[in-house]
Amino acid sequence: MIWLIAVVLFLQTAFHWLLEPVIRLLTPVFELNVLPWLFALTGLWLLAGHRDRA
């Protein structure tokens, strides 16, 4: 029974240590803090398009 507790604690620690950078990176995306930047980049992309040279 003690080994089971030890394995669970080890797995929780390992997953926390491995996934914390990913969670910190993706949190602004899910909180929609990136949405204004996405709109700005999309606008710049549309304005930077090639013009017709006909």
d(CA 20, CA 26): 10
pLDDT value for 4: 95
pLDDT, tens digit, for every residue of 6-53? 999 999 999 999 999 988 888 877 777 778 888 999 999 988 877 766
- Which residue is listed with tokens 């980049």? 41
Domain boundary assignment for the chain = 2-47
Predicted confidence (pLDDT) per residue in 22-31, tens digit: 888 888 777 7
Q: What is the pLDDT of residue 32?
A: 76
Q: How far apart are CA 47 and CA 27, in angstroms?
A: 29
Look at residue 5 and tell me whether its pLDDT is greater than 90: yes
d(CA 27, CA 41): 20
| DSSP state letter for 50 | P
Question: What residue type is assigned to position 9 of the chain?
Answer: L
CA 39 to centroid of chain Cα atoms: 17
